[in-house]
Amino acid sequence: MFRLEVERVSSFGELVADSSECKGVAIWCRMGELNEGVSIPKQFRALISCMRPPEMIKTLRRCMSIERGRDRMHLSDDTVYLYILGVAPESQGKGIGSSLVREKLAECDKEGCTVYLETNSEHNVGYYESFGFSVVKKIVEEHGAFTTWYMIRNPGGNK
């Protein structure tokens, strides 16, 4: 599923890998590019191809909930969006993800860009706060079973 999503999003975003071994990957795009590049039918076909119906329905609901929350943020088209950050499990904790984030944030600071992301893991909130992101919204869905943190980083960090 992750591979399919990376392939789909990399068609309109900037795919950055840590090395040729690709132990870590980040996809960055502008909100305007995301809005133009999203295709619900393509997402749905990808879900059908690799999930059982109950998983597919749950995942689709979560995706739609996150998108609704993102739409309510009213982010400008030039806001930089960290769409995906992933590191192979055996390579986590070695600074790979941090280097991928730091490099792009330095570029965004030079350009004066606001950066946005969502996470569904409370553990990740502290990780992203260490880069200067702040939680601007937290939404709990499905009777507390699913939480999304919406985070923003202003140029130079929020600190």
The per-residue pLDDT for range 7-46, each reduced to its tens digit, is 655 666 677 777 667 788 888 888 887 766 555 555 555 5
Q: Which two tokens stand for residue 68?
A: 């609704």
Task: Establish if 127 belongs to a structural domain.
Answer: yes
Residue 105's pLDDT is 95
What are the b/e assignments for 69-84, b being 16+ CB within 10 Å? Answer: bbeeeebeeebbbbbb
* pTM of the full structure: 0.79
Residue 158 belongs to some domain of the structure: no
Any domain includes 145: yes
Residue indicated by tokens 């893991």: 121
| CATH number for the domain that contains residue 135 | 3.40.630.30
65-70 contact pairs (CB < 8 A, 24+): 65/139, 65/141, 65/146, 65/148, 66/118, 66/120, 66/148, 67/38, 69/118, 69/137, 69/139, 69/148, 69/150, 70/118, 70/150
Residue 129 lies in a domain: yes
In the predicted model, is pLDDT for residue 1 greater than 70?
no
The percentage of the chain sitting over the pLDDT mark of 90, rounded to a whole number, equals: 35
Give the mean model confidence (pLDDT) for residues 51-66.
Answer: 72
Region 124-137: what's the mean pLDDT? 96
Q: In what order do the strands lie in the sheet with 115-119?
A: 14-17, 24-30, 80-87, 115-119, 146-153, 134-141
Chain mean position to CA 59: 15
Average pLDDT of the chain, as a whole number? 81
Specify the number of domains making up the chain: 1
Taking residues 115-143, report their average pLDDT. Answer: 92
> What is the domain extent for residue 75?
2-153
| CA pair distance 55, 119, nearest whole angstrom | 19
Confidence of residue 72 (pLDDT cuts 50, 70, 90): confident
Of the two residues 67 and 140, the one the predictor is more confident about is 140
159 domain-assigned:
no
Q: How confident is the model at residue 2 (pLDDT cuts 50, 70, 90)?
A: low
Centroid of chain to Cα 117: 5
Residue owning tokens 């739609």: 64
More confident residue, 27 or 51: 27
